[in-house]
Amino acid sequence: MKTADEVATALLGASFDSLDAQAQKVATHIAKRLSIARNTEQEYAATATLGQRAADAVALFGGSWSFIGLFAGILIGWVALNSYYLVRAHDVFDPYPYILLNLFLSMLAAIQAPIILMSQNRQAEKDRLNAAHDYEVNLKAELEIMLLHEKMDGLRQEQWIDLLALQKEQLQLLGTLVAQEGARR
> pLDDT for 106-154, tens place per residue?
999 999 999 999 999 999 999 999 999 999 999 999 999 988 998 999 9
| 177 pLDDT higher than 80 | yes
End-to-end Cα distance, the chain:
59
Residue 25 lies in a domain: no
| 1 pLDDT higher than 60 | no
| 8 pLDDT higher than 80 | yes
Q: How far from the centroid of its chain's Cα atoms is residue 54's Cα?
A: 24
**What range does the domain containing 87 cover?**
49-127
Residue 110 lies in a domain: yes
Residue 21 lies in a domain: no
What's the predicted TM-score (pTM) here? 0.66
> pLDDT for 39-88, tens place per residue?
888 888 888 999 999 999 999 998 899 999 999 999 999 888 888 888 88
How many angstroms separate the CA atoms of 71 and 74, rounded? 5
Residue 72 lies in a domain: yes
pLDDT at site 83 = 84
Q: What is the mean pLDDT of residues 20-42?
A: 89
How many angstroms separate the CA atoms of 47 and 50, rounded? 10
Distances (CA, A) of 12 to 5, 25, 46: 10, 13, 34
Residue 34 lies in a domain: no
pLDDT at site 34 = 86
Residue 79 lies in a domain: yes
Amino acid sitting at position 167: Q
How many angstroms separate the CA atoms of 54 and 114, rounded? 12
